[in-house]
């Protein structure tokens, strides 16, 4: 397989979505043809991206300069190991989402905007991964941001959609300006927009730190890192669910790609400073814990999943931060393990979070609500959806034998095997981050017990949920593909990690294959088998055998299961109000973390007949996002105040303008003469 094959497959992936964009308006009057053409071309694009990603990791990619872009700067495209991996991530979710969309969009009345902007969104993400110069990178980055804005505001008739779209567009362009500043710093040192020139230049520690901070805050805003996450829980819930799956599963990872491209590739591990890794590690730890704590208090299903995206971005950053610290302190093998752990969690999160949003879309599609307080009992009405959603819940909770466990276990191994790095701060921050990762994992499992129990178990809490029907075959297949991938990546990590190892080979010139080859493919042995090893197939066999023995012991042959009515404290009737809902399930944790949540609770008791006889109790609790409350809202109020003051000055008339002009001239004369 030639190196150019991978690049040609990547170009075909981009061409497929480009054709879909231009073909959409011609079939505006024929809804079914337009939908089928859109989904077929998106599926083809995803398939080509998967082929390009695998072949690029196996045999290398290639580069090409297209006669597009600026007159003096053609569009440079390149597929290397890092780009191949992220192209694989993009394709692995675009393909099932395209199949899922064939059923999900069947009742969409305004399909043309989605048929235009969804392919442009995918094209923007693929273009960012393929870019080999700063201009091309920013061109595709803005295409990704602007097209996703129109997808977020698709239902623009609703005020919450317009508000979410405005916040998203504002923060996306702020992130773009910061990223552009990082590229400007590297351009000033290299004198070229091309990445090849930026890699070769020597940059001073001061300007390297400036480029790192600009890239970190820019890409961190796009990835939803705390406290720059304000747009994410607003935009994800209101977008169509197939779009939410791509935004959370892929777009956030494209921001991770951009951060790795600038810091690990264009500047290189030789430019790392100790506080870079410490800052990334601290940001990852705070994002992981803050994201899952906020997710626990949500009753909007898609908003809850949005907050969990923040948590998982934090887990990825913990791996990257550990890798940066270990690379800077002279432990390249462990740094490569931290990078591989981050990359493994990147593709894992793309798969199980995409599956979760598709499951949420299936529930929304059939019940018409995102409010978990109105759900319940859907396992009886939507058994396929419940089973596939359960796979995603187990995966995101990092339970074996699914994929989430592998990446978090690798991250733990990186932290546990890290030696004393020198200095009290570094000695404390690594185990502290490991503890935060463990806490986030435990809270995530708790949260998804709540989600699955409230949504799928128990009794239906509304008529719409009670009358829900199972999804069609297209949506089932679209959800089945990532579910199977979650299982395969959990069972066979020893076959996939050698592909990921191509990335640290290119960025750190270090490989961990020597440790992986000491055992068979059944065992995963990071760095040293004497310290830690894990076998997912044997774990699965052990769990099945143990479960079978327990079942046989509890249900011996010849006995029947006794069934009786549920006891309800003497009440002859059982109904949905007797069961836990999303708010009551989270109440104990809300008490434990009262200082972080600062909840607003209101309790209203009605006693119509007698002062001692309670007729009705109404309990309302609201948990605000502290970053939004104490950071974004004050900035917004200050901006409005400043705009009001400027508007007042604009109304002062021509004399004021002349006075300002005269004062400016005097100031310039005083400064420059």
Mean of pLDDT values over 183-198: 92
| Residues 633 and 662 both lie in one domain | yes
pLDDT per residue as tens digits for the range 378-388: 999 999 999 99
3-state SS, residue 603: strand
Give the tens place of pLDDT for each residue, 236-259. 889 999 999 999 999 999 999 999
Position with higher pLDDT, 37 vs 590: 37
Instruction: Assess contact for 16 and 94: CB atoms under 8 A.
Output: no
pLDDT of residue 425: 73
First to last CA, the chain: 67
For residue 356, give the nearest of 408, 394, 305 by alpha carbon.
305
pLDDT digits (tens, 9 = 90+) for 549-584: 988 887 777 667 777 777 777 666 777 777 888 888
The average pLDDT across 284-293 equals 94
Task: Note the pLDDT of residue 605.
Answer: 81
Question: Beta strand 62-70 with 73-79: parallel, antiparallel or unpaired?
Answer: antiparallel
* 3-class secondary structure, 652: coil
What tens digit of pLDDT does each residue of 297-326 get?
A: 988 999 999 999 999 999 999 999 999 999
Q: Do 635 and 603 fall into the same domain?
A: no
Tell me, yes or no, whether 466 lies in a domain: no
3-state secondary structure of 534: strand
- On whether residue 579 sits in a domain, the answer given is no
Cα 536 from chain centroid (whole Å): 25
Share of the chain above pLDDT 70, in %: 96
Residue 470 phi/psi, 5-degree rounding, is: -70, 155
Determine the Cα–Cα distance for residues 510 and 503; give it in Å rounded to an integer.
9
Between 1-10, 125-134, 457-466, the lowest mean confidence (pLDDT) is in 1-10
Q: Is 575 helix (H, G, I), strand (E, B) or coil?
A: coil
Which among 291, 214, 239, 254 is positioned nearest to 129, based on CA atoms? Answer: 254
Bridge-based pairing of strands 616-622 and 62-70 is: unpaired
* pLDDT at residue number 484: 96
Q: Which two tokens stand for residue 239?
A: 């977008």
- Tell me the per-residue pLDDT of 201-243, one tens digit each, with 9 for 90 and over: 888 899 999 999 999 999 999 999 999 988 999 998 899 999 9
pLDDT at 68: 81
Tokens encoding 396: 């995101």
Assign 525 a pLDDT band (cuts: 50, 70, 90). Answer: confident
62-70 vs 600-606, strand pairing mode? unpaired
Least confident span in 34-48, 395-409, 455-469, 516-530:
516-530
- pLDDT mean over 402-412: 92
Helix (H, G, I), strand (E, B) or coil at 414: helix
pTM here is: 0.92
User: Given this model, what pLDDT does residue 634 score?
Assistant: 86
pLDDT for 43 beyond 80: yes
Number of H helices and E strands in the chain, helices first, is: 30, 4
Q: Write the CA distances from 330 to 58, 133, 270, 326, 668, integer angstroms.
A: 28, 30, 10, 6, 52
What pLDDT shows up at residue 559? Answer: 67
In angstroms, rounded to a whole number, what is the distance separating the alpha carbons of residues 56 and 284? 29
Summarize the confidence of residues 486-508 as an average pLDDT.
Answer: 91
Beta-strand relationship, 616-622 and 600-606: antiparallel
| Burial state string for 624-654 with b = 16 or more CB within 10 A and e = fewer than 16 | ebebbeeebeeeeeeeeeeeeeeeeeeeeee
- Secondary structure in 3-state letters for 44-99: HHHHHHHHHHHHHHHHCCEEEEEEEEECCEEEEEEECHHHHHHHHHHHHHHHHHHH
pLDDT recorded at residue 2: 60
Residue 83 lies in a domain: no
23, pLDDT greater than 90: no
Q: How confident is the model at residue 360 (pLDDT cuts 50, 70, 90)?
A: very high
Domain count, the chain: 2
Contact (Cβ atoms closer than 8 angstroms) between residue 518 and residue 532:
no
From the CB of residue 7, how many other CB atoms can be counted at a distance below 10 Å? 24
78 pLDDT tier (thresholds 50, 70, 90)? very high
Residue 667 lies in a domain: yes
More confident residue, 108 or 140: 140
Residue 618 pairs in a beta bridge with: 604
Kindly indicate the confidence band of residue 516, based on its pLDDT and cuts at 50, 70 and 90: low
What is the chain's mean pLDDT, rounded? 88
SS3 state at 621: strand
The answer to the question of residue 38 being in a domain is: no
Residues 314, 342: Cα–Cα separation, whole Å: 10
Pairwise CA distance, residues 188 & 476, whole Å: 51
Cα separation, 268 vs 200, in Å, equals 10
Does residue 195 have a pLDDT over 70? yes
Whole-angstrom CA distances from 491 to 115, 274, 311, 499, 591 are 37, 36, 24, 16, 38
Residue 649 scores a pLDDT above 80:
no
Tokens 């400016």 belong to: 664
Q: What integer is the mean pLDDT of 132-139?
A: 94
pLDDT for 648:
74
pLDDT of residue 645: 81
Evaluate whether residue 609 is within a structural domain: yes
Q: What is the DSSP letter of 672?
A: H
Domain extent for 608: 593-624
Least-confidence region, from 66-80, 270-284, 291-305, 516-530: 516-530
Q: Would you say residue 641 lies in a domain? A: yes
Q: How far is CA 403 from CA 172, 353, 655, in A?
A: 31, 12, 69
* Beta-bridge partner residues of 601: 621
Would you say residue 369 lies in a domain? no
* Residue 520 confidence (pLDDT): 64
Cα(660)–Cα(644) distance, integer angstroms: 18
Mark whether 633 and 653 lie in a shared domain: yes
Q: What is the pLDDT of residue 584?
A: 83
pLDDT for position 519: 54
More confident residue, 611 or 184: 184
Model confidence at 530, pLDDT cuts 50, 70, 90, reads low
Banded pLDDT at 138 (limits 50, 70, 90): very high
Structure tokens at 22: 């231009």
pLDDT exceeds cutoff 90 at 587: no
Residue 668 and residue 632 in one domain: yes
638 and 620 co-located in one domain? no
pLDDT (average), residues 105-116: 88
Helical spans, DSSP H, in 368-472: 378-381, 383-396, 403-416, 424-456, 463-466
Same domain, 620 and 631: no
Q: Does the pLDDT value for residue 548 go beyond 60?
A: yes
CA gap 434, 415 in Å, rounded: 6
Residue 74 has pLDDT above 70, yes or no: yes
Answer yes or no: is pLDDT of 420 > 70: no
> What b/e sequence results for 112-149 when a residue is b if at least 16 CB atoms lie within 10 Å of its CB, and e otherwise?
bebbbbbbbbbbbbbbbbbbbbbbbbbbbbbbbbbbbb
pLDDT at 352: 95
Size (the chain), residues: 673
Radius of gyration of the chain from its Cα atoms, rounded to whole angstroms? 27
């Amino acid at each position: 397989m030639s190196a150019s094959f991978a690049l040609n497959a990547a170009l075909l992936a981009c061409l497929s979505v480009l054709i879909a964009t231009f073909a959409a308006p011609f079939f505006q009057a024929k809804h079914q043809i337009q939908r089928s053409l859109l989904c077929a071309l998106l599926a083809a694009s995803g398939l080509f991206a998967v082929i390009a990603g695998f072949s690029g990791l196996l045999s290398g990619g290639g580069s090409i300069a297209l006669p597009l872009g600026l007159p003096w700067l053609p569009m440079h495209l390149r597929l290397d190991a890092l780009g191949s991996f992220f192209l694989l991530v993009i394709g692995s979710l675009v393909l099932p989402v395209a199949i899922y969309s064939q059923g999900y969009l069947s009742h969409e009345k305004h399909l043309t905007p989605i048929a235009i902007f969804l392919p442009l969104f995918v094209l923007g993400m693929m273009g960012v991964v393929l870019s080999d110069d700063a201009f091309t990178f920013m061109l595709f980055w803005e295409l990704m941001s602007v097209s996703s804005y129109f997808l977020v505001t698709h239902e623009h008739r609703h005020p919450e959609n317009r508000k979410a779209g405005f916040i998203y567009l504002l923060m996306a362009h702020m992130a773009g300006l910061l990223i552009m500043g990082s590229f400007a710093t590297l351009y000033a040192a290299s004198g070229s927009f091309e990445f090849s020139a930026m890699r070769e230049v020597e940059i001073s520690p001061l300007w390297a730190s400036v480029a790192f901070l600009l890239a970190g805050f820019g890409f961190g805003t796009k990835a939803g890192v705390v406290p720059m996450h304000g747009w994410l829980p607003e935009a994800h819930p209101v977008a169509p669910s197939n779009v939410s799956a791509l935004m959370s599963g892929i777009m956030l990872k494209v921001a991770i790609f951009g951060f790795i491209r600038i810091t690990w590739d264009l500047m290189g591990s030789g430019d790392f400073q100790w506080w870079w890794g410490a800052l990334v590690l601290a940001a990852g730890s705070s994002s992981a814990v803050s994201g899952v704590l906020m997710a626990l208090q949500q009753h909007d299903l898609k908003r809850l999943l949005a907050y969990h995206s923040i948590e998982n971005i934090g887990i990825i950053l913990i791996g990257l931060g550990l890798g940066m610290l270990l690379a800077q302190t002279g432990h390249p093998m462990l740094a490569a393990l931290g990078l591989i752990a981050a990359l493994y969690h990147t593709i894992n999160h793309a798969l199980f979070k995409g599956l979760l949003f598709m499951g949420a879309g299936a529930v929304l599609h059939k019940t018409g609500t995102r409010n978990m307080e109105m759900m319940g009992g859907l396992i009886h009405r939507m058994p396929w959806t419940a089973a596939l959603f359960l796979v995603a819940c187990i995966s995101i909770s990092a339970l074996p034998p699914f994929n989430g466990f592998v990446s978090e276990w690798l991250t733990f191994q990186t932290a546990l095997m890290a030696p004393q790095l020198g200095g009290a701060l570094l000695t404390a921050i690594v185990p502290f981050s490991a503890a935060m990762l463990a806490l986030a994992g435990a809270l995530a499992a708790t949260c998804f017990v709540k989600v699955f129990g409230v949504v799928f178990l128990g009794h239906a809490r509304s008529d719409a949920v009670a009358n829900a029907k199972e999804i069609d075959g297209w949506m089932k297949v679209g959800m089945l593909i990532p579910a199977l991938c979650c299982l395969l990546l959990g069972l066979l990590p020893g076959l996939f990690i050698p592909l990921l190892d191509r990335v640290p080979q290119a960025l750190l010139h270090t490989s961990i294959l020597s440790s992986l080859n000491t055992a068979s493919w059944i065992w995963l042995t990071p760095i040293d088998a004497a310290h830690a090893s894990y076998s997912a197939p044997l774990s699965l066999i052990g769990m099945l055998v143990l479960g079978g023995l327990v079942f046989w012991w509890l249900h011996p042959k010849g006995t029947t299961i006794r069934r009786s009515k549920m006891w309800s404290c003497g009440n002859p009737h059982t109904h949905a109000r007797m069961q836990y809902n999303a708010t009551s399930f989270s109440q104990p944790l809300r008490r434990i973390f009262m200082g972080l949540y600062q909840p607003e609770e209101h309790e209203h008791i009605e006693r119509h007949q007698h002062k001692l006889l309670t007729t009705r109790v109404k309990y309302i609790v609201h948990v605000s996002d502290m970053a939004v409350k104490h950071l974004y809202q004050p900035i917004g109020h200050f901006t409005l105040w400043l705009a009001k003051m400027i508007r007042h000055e604009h109304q002062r008339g021509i004399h004021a303008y002349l006075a300002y002009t005269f004062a400016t001239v005097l100031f310039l004369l005083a400064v420059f003469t």
